[in-house]
Structure 1
Amino acid sequence: MIVVDGSREFDCILSGEQIAIGITSIWGDAVTVGRERRSVPARGNWAPTRRGVLVGGAAFIGAPAIVRAEQPFRFGLTPVFLTSDLDLLEALQRYLSVAMGNEVQLVLKRTYQEITSQLLSGLLDSAWICGFPFVAYRRELELVAVPVWRGKPTYQSYLLVGADRGDVSSIRDLRGDIHAFSDPDSNSGYLVTRALLAENRAKPQDFFRRTFFTYGHRNVVRAVAAGLAQSGSVDGYVWEVLSEAEPELTKLTKPAWRSERMGFPPIATSAGNAASEGIRRFQRALIDMPSDPTGRSVLGLLRLDGFATEDPSLFDSIARRVDLVRALG
């Protein structure tokens, strides 16, 4: 089963309005639920906060922390990073269900904030999240697996501009732009750029003429290609995959700057669920993907080599960026 946020099927399983109660983003300055954005009181200094997500799960204290074999395994995804291509999702759901010997439900949510809140509250067994939420909630989350792309469990963030733009080599050349971000809880689509600005004692609202969130890396590429934004912050893996799949789109853009390599967006589970039999079988299914025909098909669609177990220290550079932005306030 594929459960899409806002669909009737999803509403029968859990009310989207229930999920909205008490949830704030990692940044603590807004909540995003479905297509609705709401303001909340700003905090005095910038810092990821566990309260926003943990309070959101307070209504679900009775939710089981350990996967039972007779229950569907719920795996959360978001189009911020992953495409919602039905062929890919159906192949992924089919492979995981067979490999685990248990029904797997793919739960699609619009933002990282929504996916992370459901993971921490026990409504999801595992989720494909971003490195930024992973380090922000390090005490509550455990790594399950990290994708391997082009032989490494790492990727880069790109600053994207139009293909016909003149020489641009650093973020300083983007001052005064209309700039597109992907998601406020994205590492490559927001945090990296915010950390670059922090190094120059600047903030997005002061540096750029205007900014907006697209809630999808592909949408950042589209915004820059169409001229809706003069520049954008994007996941380098997504841009490279789009260059193969949709070259007519990416040829209208170019990376003006690339970050160093960082831990690839991981698959995580809650700390209380990490030792469960369901997570053990899920992790094994991910690692064994290259040896199965359907698994290889999924990896081919994702342009990934496979999945591997990695040490959390892989995400230390992301944690340092969080500290840098926090220091600026």
Structure 2
Amino acid sequence: MKMLSLAVSAALALTGTAAFPEAISGFNIGIMGGENAQDRMSSNECYRAAIEAAVGVLVKVFTPADYDGVIQGLLGGTLDMAWLGASGYAKIHLTDETAVDVALTKQNSDGSTGYYAIGFARSDSGITRIEEAEGKVFAFAEPNSTSGYLVPGAELQEALGPLDQFFSEVKFSGGHEQSLIGVSNGDFDAGVAWADGLGNWEDGYNSGAFRKAADSGLIDMNNLTEIWRSKLIPEGPMVLRKALPQEVKDKVTRLTADLWEKDPKCAYGVAAGEAKDFVPVTHETYLGVIAARKLQEAAN
């Protein structure tokens, strides 16, 4: 990310100032759901502290119970930045195109910038592919999740027909972590969560919900088996509230872009596992997901 750093440095130099105007008195980060609040706080404490040192104001982390809490915080201006899923970004854009700026996305260890919705079941369930989950209880994460609902819901319905007829029951667990624990504990027969699909299944792949839950000791990957995989989904973006001073947005973007080089342990927590970098991304990357979200909302 050195080229990005140089570009941002040059932009800052053109402003003729090294300090930020006193336009903000604090900076609030929203962390999407998918794991318990304390783990989200712990994983991002180093990141919060680094941003606080960079912008020179108090930085707080907020962990709403669901994805919509972060979405509404960004729309309402009470949150200044967040890492979103593509569907969450789509909802914000469809609600208010002027709310946020897209900045960065996660780059995987193989250079790709995408991930998968992974269908899974218990290894002892006898379910080895999604078709064998017919008549079973299936768990999605929550309605605003890209890989936990929007994409797998659409792809599975296309393949299997109406899901409430194929499965005996379709539930929302509340998040990826809840789906993983629920299937592991036998509360659901199968479900979906997200992963980069790289590395070893036994590790929870390189990054994603499986890796986070495995690292935390919440699940044993040997007790689970993959039964389905979506098409590649674009990694969600890091967004910043558009109304922030440009200097603040540049500083936070540059810090994040350099995080894997300067503090890989901290970057691991932000990325939910192993990755290569945080790289620039544009709105155009999410046009397909925005179109899918618009169709979904029109149908409801």
TM-score by length of 2: 0.76
Cross-structure match for 1:283: 253
Q: Equivalents in 2 of 1:80, 1:174: separation in Å?
A: 23
How many residues are aligned here? 260
% identical aligned pairs: 20
Q: Equivalents in 2 of 1:168, 1:325: separation in Å?
A: 29
Q: Equivalents in 2 of 1:228, 1:247: separation in Å?
A: 15
Task: Find 1:131's aligned residue among 78, 86, 89.
Answer: 86
Matches within 5 A, 1:284-303: 284-292=254-262, 295-301=263-269, 302-303=272-273
Q: Equivalents in 2 of 1:182, 1:320: separation in Å?
A: 21
* Alignment RMSD: 2.8
Whether the 8 Å contact between 2:139 and 2:188 is mirrored in structure 1 is: yes
Are residue 107 (structure 1) and residue 77 (structure 2) matched? Answer: no
Are residue 257 (structure 1) and residue 266 (structure 2) matched? Answer: no
Q: Equivalents in 1 of 2:223, 2:240: separation in Å?
A: 38
Higher mean C-alpha deviation, range 214-223 or range 81-90: 81-90
Cross-structure match for 1:152: 112
Q: RCO greater where, 1 or 2, for CA within 8 Å and sep 6 or more? A: 2
Whether the 8 Å contact between 2:71 and 2:92 is mirrored in structure 1 is: no
Are residue 80 (structure 1) and residue 34 (structure 2) matched? Answer: yes
Cross-structure match for 2:7: none
Whether the 8 Å contact between 2:70 and 2:82 is mirrored in structure 1 is: yes
Whether the 8 Å contact between 1:169 and 1:257 is mirrored in structure 2 is: yes
Post-superposition shift, 1:125?
0.9
Amino acid at match of 1:157: A
CA shift digits 1:75-122 (9 cap, x unpaired)? 111232687425423212112212333332111111111110110111
Q: Equivalents in 1 of 2:149, 2:212: separation in Å?
A: 20
Structure 2 portions without partners, runs of 5+: 1-20, 196-207
Are residue 306 (structure 1) and residue 277 (structure 2) matched? Answer: yes
Whether the 8 Å contact between 1:112 and 1:130 is mirrored in structure 2 is: no
Higher mean C-alpha deviation, range 319-328 or range 215-224: 319-328
TM-score by length of 1: 0.70
Whether the 8 Å contact between 1:77 and 1:107 is mirrored in structure 2 is: yes
Structure 1 runs of 4+ aligned residues shifted over 4 Å read: 67-70, 323-329
Whether the 8 Å contact between 2:35 and 2:178 is mirrored in structure 1 is: no
Cross-structure match for 1:268: 239
Structure 1 portions without partners, runs of 5+: 1-66
Cross-structure match for 1:224: 183
Q: Comparing both structures, which one devotes a greater share of its residues to helix?
A: 2
Tell me the secondary structure at the aligned position of residue 137 of structure 1: helix
Q: Equivalents in 2 of 1:258, 1:200: separation in Å?
A: 12
Amino acid at match of 2:121: V
Tell me the secondary structure at the aligned position of residue 70 of structure 2: helix
Compared with structure 1, are the counterparts of its residues 109 and 322 closer, same or farther at alpha carbon in structure 2 (3 Å cutoff)? same
